[in-house]
Structure formats: structure tokens, C-alpha cells
Amino acid sequence: MVTRTLWLWLCVVWLTTWFTEAIIHPSAASVCDLGPCRCARGLLVCDCSISPAKEIVLKKEMFDMYIFSSISVVNCVHVHVTSQALSDLPALQQFSATNIAKLTLEEQAFFWRTNNEKHSGLLVNITNTVIPDIPSYSFQGSLRHVCFTSVSVSHVRPFAFSSIDHAERIDFTRVHFADLEPQAFKKFSVEFLVIADTSVNLIPTRTMMDIDVHQEVLLRNVTVGEIEQSAFKIYDPRSFRIIQSNVEFVQEKAFHVHTKGDVSIHDNRFGRLEEDAFVGFTVERKYFEEAGKQDLIFENNTLKNFESGSLTFNTSGFNPRLDWIMISQQCSCPSVSTWATDLVYFSSNPIYKTQVPQIDTVIYC
């Protein structure tokens, strides 16, 4: 009797353990068999708040025999997207991950490409989520819109965002990037690139390399520890704006931006500027021949420490407009005189710089 009872008890324990593991770590061939997931009419919704399973692994083979237009994953402790998990879903329009405590991505996690001219591309929307690491080549292909909102990213590797085929938008809003590697954003085209209400410890050399932006680059209310030399190499935006931001240190020639329109830098605070910090803004040659000089606006910015010629602006393609340059230092007549002759220069040639007359009328302290 005791032996039989013990045997039954062991069976119950084994079945309970197996059932629990099957829920939490499913080996199901179909994504629709996962505990938190429901499939209906081309929609896949996985909500871990209504299931004992709090972790989901998305693999390419789990989507066999299904046609999804939308995938939504919410309220999970851990979501793991494996390499090319979504690549065989030609009808997919959007993927969203919301309220994910840990989102693990493999290389090419969001590789997705279509040859269908009627398909506008994939929307990837990640909200209120923690991402420990964005590996190389995570975002590639026919991505219409990549949107991060309220996301914490610990590490971004080289080529994490690369070879994206003419996206409409890439938006980072309320994102914290703890560590960016050089060439994290490499060789892709996009209409709008927007970074807003976001913090970055360091933007290293060649962070954004060979990026074609056809409409606007906007950095708004961005907090940055340091922008290194040649951090931005961007082509063809019709507007490039840095507004309401706080940057502790900008190295020389931090920006290599060839525009087809105006540049506006206003309402910012710069802790330290090296010489020629902004000299790398230029107007694309053919556009200049057709449209003439563009405006470069530098207004209502506060500077704390700066080197001689830190505000040197390229006048070969721009008409600089300067006003309300606020110096966050103790003010005196000699210091104002020095700043007026040593801070701001215009240059149409990398070798020669020209002092700006009456610049003292727009410098305040």
C-alpha cells in the first residue's frame, strides 16, 4: 500500500512538473499553442497577464502555416525574439511589444523584407520595455517605422540598425541608451529621424554613419554626456534641428551633415565646446546650385565653457543667424570683449576664418 501511494505521488509530481514546464517553456510547434497567445483572423495577441506563463520565445518555425498581419506581445516578464523569427510572414504589417520586463533580441531579430510593391513595410513598436542588448543587424530590411517609447537600452552593438530600406520614420521617445558602440546606426535611408526626451551617456565617433534622411532630423529635449568627433555623418535632410537639449561636451567636428535645407540650433545648453564643434554642417552642392544659401540659426543657447572658435560656422552654403548667445560665466567688460573676438567665426574655407562684426551685440552673460 505504501509503495503504491508513493508511486502515485511520484506520478503526480512528475505530471505537475511536466505541465508547468510545458506552459512556461513550451516546445509547441505552433505559436498559437503558447499559453498566453490567441490567434484569430490574422491577428496574434500574446498577453502574459492572463496566463501562468510569463515568458515567450518567438521562433521562425512556430509561424509555419499561419498568415498574420499583426503580432502583439504584452505584459510579459521575458520575451525572446530569435534570428529572423518574423521573416517568413509576408503579410505582416506590425509587431508590437509592450510592458516587457526583459526583451532579448538575437541578430536579425527584426529582419523582414518584402518584394511586394503594395506592401508599405513593417511597423515595429516597442513600448515600456527593457532591452539588455541590441545585437548587430537586429533591425534590417523593409521596415516602414521603428518606434521606441519609454524604453531602456543597456547596449547597442555596431550595425544594430543597418540596411533599412527607405523607412518612413525612426522615432526614439523617452529612451535611455546606456552604451552605444560606433556604427550602431549604419547605412540606411529614412524620411524622418526623431530623438526626443531621450538620454544618452556617450555618442561615440561614427555612431550614425552614412544615413540618408530625406525630410528631417530632430533632436529635442535630449540629454547627452558627450558627442565625440564625427559622431554624426548624415546626408540630405531638408531640416536638421537641435532644440531644448542639454549636452555636456561636444568635440571638434562632431557633426558631418550635408543638408538640403536649414539647420536650427536653439534653446540648448552646452557645457563645453571644442573648436569647430559645428563647422561640419554644409549644404549639398547640387542643392546649393539650385536653391542658393540656406539658413543656419543659432539662437538662445547657453554656453558654459568653450575653446577659441568653438562657434565657427560654414558660410559657403549657409547664412548664419545668431542671437542670444548666453555665456554662463562671471561677466565683465574685458571678458565680453574677448568672447566677441575669439568665440564666433565664419568660414567659407577650412583654412581661413573671419571674425564676425558686431557679434558682441548678441552675446549675453
Buried (b) or exposed (e) across 265-304, using 16+ Cβ within 10 A?
bbbbbbbbbbbbbbbbbbbbeebbeeeeebebbbebbbbe
Task: Give the residue with greater pLDDT, 24 vs 278.
Answer: 278
Q: What is the structure's pLDDT at 98?
A: 98
Q: Find out whether 87 and 111 touch, Cβ atoms under 8 Å.
A: yes
Neighbour count for residue 165 (Cβ, 10 Å): 15
Considering only CA atoms, which of 254, 224, 220, 222 is closest in space to residue 240? 220
Q: What is the pLDDT of residues 314-333, one digit of tens each?
A: 999 999 999 999 999 887 76
Q: Render pLDDT for 84-114 as a digit per residue (tens, 0 to 9).
A: 999 999 999 999 999 999 999 999 999 999 8
- pLDDT tens digits, residue range 4-17? 554 555 444 444 44
Give the whole-angstrom CA distance, residue 296 versus residue 312.
12
C-beta neighbour count of 162 within 10 angstroms: 20
Amino acid at 290: E
Give 300's strand partners.
none
19, burial (CB in 10 Å: exposed 0-12, middle 13-18, buried 19+)? exposed
Query: What is the reported pLDDT for 4?
Result: 54
Residues 160 and 136: beta-carbon distance below 8 Å: yes
Q: Please, which residues bridge with residue 151 across strands? A: 129, 175
pLDDT in tens, 206-216: 999 999 999 99
Mean pLDDT estimate for the chain = 90
What 3-state class would DSSP assign to 104? Answer: strand
pLDDT at 14: 43
Domain boundaries, the chain: 40-181
State residue 18 phi and psi, 5-degree precision. -65, -45
pTM of the predicted structure, to 2 decimals: 0.89
